[in-house]
Amino acid sequence: EGGGAMAAADPGRPRAAGLALLGPAPGAPSCPHGPALLFVKTSQGKEEGRRFYACSACRDRKDCNFFQWEDEKVSETRLAAREEYNRNHQPSFTHRQNVDRYKNFVLLPSSKRRFCQECQQLLLPAEWEKHSDHQFLCDITTAQLKSPSQLLYPLENKKTNAQYLFADRSCQFLINLLIDLGFRRVLSVGTPRLHEMIQSKSSQEEFSVRSLLLDIDFRYSQFYTEDEFCHYNMFNHHFFGGEAARETCRKFLYEENGERVIMVTDPPFGGLVEALASSFKKLMAMWRETEKEGHDNKEMPMFWIFPYFFESRILDFFPSFSMMDYQVDYENHALYKHGKTGRRQSPVRIFTNLTPSMIVLPEEEGYRFCTVCQRYVSSGNQHCEICNSCTSKDGRRWKHCVVCKKCVKPSWFHCNNCNCCTLQKHSCDKTDVGCFVCGKAGHKRSACPSLSCS
């Protein structure tokens, strides 16, 4: 595994060999994706590791190979070259230009509306020639322009930027939930499908919810104005559009006329939870600062959509959050979507700082309300009398282990060697390397029992 996201810095975790994130650092050098993050390379047992900067957004060196030791002297020539490189690696059109292009595009008769699939770009007739040997789509309809997430290819880079789009019913569920909770504005961070569904619903009558999309995928700037989309990196809280874009976001968070705001985010699952948390805290601070007296000690309401096995990591950074049992389904994710033969379990959940009892989950999908826990839970999630809570994380019925004093997955058993519950098939010899996902020793991330469905 390359890049920085591997073993993240967690104060409560034994020091393991690997990489740890120290976070955004003042004065950090920049790559085309904004300020780099500071990491430290640790070797087993050693106290101090060597620190270096690496790209915040790309975990694969192939996508962005920015690297600099923290104590490295960088010559003027190299700095100049780097700046030049960063400039050259910005998108070929600015957001403003894309907005103007869009205005011209919608004026075209449908026979002249083309979308280049190779360049992922709306084409104006004067540009056809340049793309003549590219594949393109014709007769682009207004409906297609209103659902860019269906027109664009989902980015597929496994490590950096895989885009997993919500299945319709999960997206509908989220929107209905937001409305029922009384929110009229949604800060959509890395949720283009949710954004576009809100937008198209808003054009219908009797539905007044607004959304601002923050995403690193600049292709969306072809379809949205500067008030609807900001090119944003959620791993370092970088607004590519500078102060103007930041101001757009700030204005959006200011709750005029009692229009309440919620932030919804569905980041890539690749890790870097602490980098995400640090950015989300900055967005929360932005919200708090818009109101002088209003929300002194309150937090901006938030839905953070993420796999359940990150629960403890998320709670480390946001103790006010709780995990909902609702299983978020995706359209293009082989593992997480509904199969033809009934339902495959999705590990993706909603983490929120709203009161759990307010998050009403659909009974027709098998969720029920537990009066003791005061929240909706999966049908298979049984209330454990000893733990005094509904303990299942994956929707199946879990069993209580009296030695571990907690509930565990149904397929686990208590191993006296390891002194904990685990899969029947495991080796008791431990290594010192903590697992990135659950933090426990004895296995690597790829073999993490939390990730397996058995």
Which residues of this chain interact with Zn ion, rule CB under 5 A?
116, 118-119, 131, 134, 370, 372-373, 383-384, 386-387, 390, 400-401, 403-404, 407, 414, 421
- Nearer Cβ to ligand SAH, position 217 or 394? 217
- Nearer Cβ to ligand SAH, position 233 or 346? 233
Nearest to 162 by CA among 30, 33, 59: 59
373 binds, among Zn ion, ligand SAH, none (CB under 5 to 8 A by kind): Zn ion
- Nearer Cβ to ligand SAH, position 232 or 309? 232
170-174 long-range Cβ contacts below 8 angstroms, 24+ apart: 170/328, 170/329, 170/330, 171/197, 172/197, 173/326, 173/362, 174/264, 174/303
Q: Which residues, in sequence order, are bridge partners of residue 412?
A: 423
Residue 124 CB, shortest distance to Zn ion, in Å, is 12
Tokens of 114: 């083309």
The angle, 0 to 180 degrees and rounded to 10, between the axes of the packed helices 168-180 and 192-202 is 60
Per-position b or e across 390-410, b if 16+ CB within 10 A of its CB: bbbbbbbbbbebeeeeebbbe
For ligand SAH, the binding residue among 10, 217, 274, 329 (CB under 6 A) is 217
Q: Quick one: which segment of 101-109, 120-128, 232-240, 293-301 binds ligand SAH (CB under 6 A)?
A: 232-240
**By 3-state DSSP, what share of the chain in percent is helix, strand and coil, each rounded to 5?**
25, 20, 50
How long a stretch of residues is the chain? 454
Q: Is the dihedral of CA 399, 403, 404, 406 positive or negative?
A: positive
Q: Quick one: which segment of 78-86, 185-193, 198-206, 240-248 binds ligand SAH (CB under 6 A)?
A: 185-193
- Nearer Cβ to ligand SAH, position 24 or 442? 24
Distance (Å, whole) CA 338 – CA 329: 7
Helix, strand, or coil (residue 385): coil
Query: Taking CB under 6 A as the criterion, which residues in 2-61 touch ligand SAH?
Result: 57
Helix, strand, or coil (residue 288): helix
For 258, list phi and psi in degrees, rounded to 5.
65, 20
216 binds, among ligand SAH, Zn ion, none (CB under 5 to 8 A by kind): ligand SAH
- Nearer Cβ to ligand SAH, position 191 or 378? 191
Q: Quick one: which segment of 42-50, 163-171, 338-346, 420-428 binds ligand SAH (CB under 6 A)?
A: 163-171
Q: Quick one: which segment of 39-47, 118-126, 231-239, 390-398 binds ligand SAH (CB under 6 A)?
A: 231-239
Binding mask 426-445 for ligand SAH (x = CB under 6 A): --------------------
- Nearer Cβ to Zn ion, position 335 or 387? 387
Residue 35 CB, shortest distance to ligand SAH, in Å, is 12
End-to-end CA distance of the chain: 24
88 sits in the region (left: phi over 0; alpha: psi -120 to 50; else beta) called alpha
How many C-alpha atoms does 181 have within 13 Å on its Cβ side? 25
194 binds, among Zn ion, ligand SAH, none (CB under 5 to 8 A by kind): ligand SAH
Binding mask 268-287 for ligand SAH (x = CB under 6 A): x-------------------
> CA separation (Å) from 130 to 78, 93, 151, 309?
34, 16, 21, 48
> Which residues neighbour 245 within 8 Å (Cβ) at sequence distance 6 or greater?
226, 230, 231, 232, 239
The alpha carbon of residue 5 and the mean position of all alpha carbons in its chain are separated, in whole angstroms, by 14
280 binds, among Zn ion, ligand SAH, none (CB under 5 to 8 A by kind): none
- Nearer Cβ to Zn ion, position 66 or 398? 398
| 248 forms part of the interface with ligand SAH (CB under 6 A) | no
Helix, strand, or coil (residue 143): helix
Nearest to 398 by CA among 426, 421, 425: 421
For ligand SAH, the binding residue among 266, 311, 325, 329 (CB under 6 A) is 266
- Nearer Cβ to ligand SAH, position 165 or 178? 165
Nearest to 412 by CA among 425, 403, 421: 421
For ligand SAH, the binding residue among 16, 20, 165, 262 (CB under 6 A) is 165
| 216 forms part of the interface with ligand SAH (CB under 6 A) | yes
| 192 forms part of the interface with ligand SAH (CB under 6 A) | yes
- Nearer Cβ to ligand SAH, position 170 or 392? 170
For ligand SAH, the binding residue among 185, 193, 375, 393 (CB under 6 A) is 193
- Nearer Cβ to ligand SAH, position 190 or 307? 190
Residue 300 CB, shortest distance to ligand SAH, in Å, is 18
Distance (Å, whole) CA 316 – CA 451: 20
| 326 forms part of the interface with ligand SAH (CB under 6 A) | no
Residue 4 CB, shortest distance to ligand SAH, in Å, is 13
Chain residues in the site for ligand SAH (CB under 6 A): 57, 161, 163-166, 190-194, 215-217, 232-235, 266-268
